[in-house]
Amino acid sequence: MSELDLPPRSHGELPPEGAASGFGRPGTADVLDFADQAAADKKAAHEINKLSKRLHRQVGQAITDFNMIEDGDKVMVCLSGGKDSYAMLDILLNLQQRAPIKFSLVAVNLDQKQPGFPAEVLPNYLRSRGVDFHIETQDTYAIVKRLIPEGKTTCSLCSRLRRGILYRVAGELGATKIALGHHRDDMVTTLFLNMFFGSRLKGMPPKLVSDDGRNVVIRPLAYVKEPDLVRWAEHREFPIIPCNLCGSQENLQRVQVKAMINEWEKRYPGRIDNIFTAMGNIVTSHMMDKKLYPFETARATGVPEAGGDIAFDEDEGCATPSPAAVITLQR
Ligand code: SF4
């Protein structure tokens, strides 16, 4: 038997004596290989265990912090077939078992009739997980193709149609919450998109009433980092459905902003987290929105104010130049 023929091993399990070489007792090199492999397997299992705990903790925390799910809720989990929505459903199913409150889940997928959409993949997966589900079939692809001239981006009409359908389905199913699979990186990307192209300081909320006023939209993955979702999807082997079946390009501006923040993160690790934390830590008196702070009526009171103006703000993180910088400046 060659090494390639060996049956798969579980983590930490040592192979039978002589299995590697196929001839009698294993040599020293074989024993070392197996020891290395066992150590690597153990480390991988440990990492996955940590990832699982982190994901469940972060989703549970977001749900609690924003009171996303309440006792008796029926949560409609929107499933696109991408890694994020699979992970959201997976984690919510686990949390449902341990939660101190009772809530139900119903998975919903919108089959938009895109060419090549593998219609059986999601139902098969959902049946295998024992989840209640509903597949809504609406040929939005044909509508979009008919109304949008060739070469123009179709995403904005497509998303509008999808939103309207999902809101309607939520009502028909009696869902009290609509859960979407946006994560921390989506929320930060949206903040910059709105700043760069909409001149607004506006992100993506973890929980908000929908624009038709009839639904409450929640984002249980709000605290989750995208790279963790990529690893979880690989580990859980979700049957991912590609998202480019419609042939449309992903929004180019979103792609560029995402590349920008990922590049920052590479150069300055922790930057995305800092931006994300800042989204929940807004000092309205230090912005310029007259709707949020009464600048016109600001008067000196003679009483020191902790959040008052300090005349010359120090830029946090660069207040004190490093010795190296001082030396460079003095040259
Ligand atoms: S990529 Fe295709 S399916 Fe997705 S929003 Fe755009 S047009 Fe719709």
Domain span at 261? 46-279
User: In what order do the strands lie in the sheet containing 133-137?
Assistant: 133-137, 104-111, 74-78, 177-179, 216-218, 207-209
Tell me what pLDDT residue 250 has: 67
Domain annotation covers residue 10: no
Q: Dump the DSSP string for 289-331.
A: -TTTS-GGG----SS--TTS--SS---TT-SS--HHHHHHHH-
Number of structural domains, the chain? 1
Ligand 1 centre and the CA of 256: distance in Å? 17
Domain annotation covers residue 102: yes
Cβ–ligand 1 contact at 251 (below 6 Å): no
Tell me what pLDDT residue 245 has: 73
d(CA 16, CA 26): 10
Per-residue pLDDT of the chain (331 residues; tens, 9 = 90+): 333 333 333 333 333 333 343 455 667 777 778 888 899 999 999 999 999 999 999 999 999 999 999 999 999 999 999 999 999 999 999 999 999 999 999 999 999 998 889 999 999 999 999 999 999 999 999 999 899 888 787 888 888 999 999 999 999 999 999 999 999 999 999 999 999 999 999 999 999 999 889 999 999 999 999 999 999 999 999 999 987 777 766 678 889 999 999 999 999 999 999 999 999 999 999 999 999 999 999 999 999 988 899 888 766 665 544 444 444 444 3
Tell me what pLDDT residue 318 has: 59
Ligand 1 centre and the CA of 141: distance in Å? 9
Cβ–ligand 1 contact at 154 (below 6 Å): yes
Tell me what pLDDT residue 199 has: 97
Domain annotation covers residue 328: no
Domain annotation covers residue 95: yes
pLDDT digits (tens, 9 = 90+) for 23-52: 556 677 777 788 888 999 999 999 999 999
Cβ–ligand 1 contact at 153 (below 6 Å): no
* DSSP annotation of 133: E
Domain annotation covers residue 297: no
Domain annotation covers residue 314: no
pLDDT digits (tens, 9 = 90+) for 91-143: 999 999 999 999 999 999 999 998 889 999 999 999 999 999 999 999 999 99
Domain annotation covers residue 216: yes
> Which atom from ligand 1 is nearest to the alpha carbon of 159?
5
d(CA 240, CA 121): 9
Q: CATH code at 224?
A: 3.40.50.620
* Contact in structure between 87 and 57 (CB atoms under 8 Å): no
Cβ–ligand 1 contact at 155 (below 6 Å): yes
Tell me what pLDDT residue 30 has: 75
Q: Does 155 belong to an annotated binding site?
A: yes
Domain annotation covers residue 264: yes
